Amino acid sequence: MRAGPGRGWLGFAGTQEVRILQSDGAATGGNVAPAPAPGSAWAPFHHRLFAAMWGAQFVSNVGSWMQTVAAQWLMLTLTSSAVYVTLVQTAASLPIVLFFRSS
């Protein structure tokens, strides 16, 4: 994507052409970064790449949850045993527990 007028290096609006007054009153032109947005939980979603990555991760998590529920449902339908359903849930969550690293 090409950066156009009023666009940053990724093509996002955010930088703008402004006049900066020097101490002697002469005006100079230049690109100045915008003032930071007020603290909002939704502020990161203004960045297109962040929103795309977050959305993809959300869809992936929903798919994982659906797969786990389908496996449990299938096991319950085939065996009618709560123990086997528990084993399916354990098999799905055990890698997360074993390989989770806190920073």
Domain range summary for the chain, segments of one domain joined by + = 1-34, 45-103
pLDDT at 26: 52
Cα distances (Å, whole numbers) of residue 96 to 57, 100, 103:
16, 6, 15
Tens-place pLDDT, residues 23-75: 555 555 555 566 665 688 898 999 999 999 999 999 999 999 999 999 999 99
Q: Which region holds residue 60: left if phi is over 0, alpha if psi is between -120 and 50, else beta? A: alpha
DSSP state, residue 38: P
Confidence of residue 101 (pLDDT cuts 50, 70, 90): confident
The reported pTM is 0.54
Question: Hey, is 25 helix, strand or coil?
Answer: coil
Confidence of residue 9 (pLDDT cuts 50, 70, 90): very low
Q: Is residue 56 within 8 Å of 64, Cβ to Cβ?
A: no
Q: What are phi and psi of 30, to 5 degrees?
A: 175, 160
Q: Could you give the CA distance from residue 77 to residue 88 in angstroms, rounded to a whole number? A: 13
The vertex-56 CA angle with 54 and 59, nearest 5°, equals 110
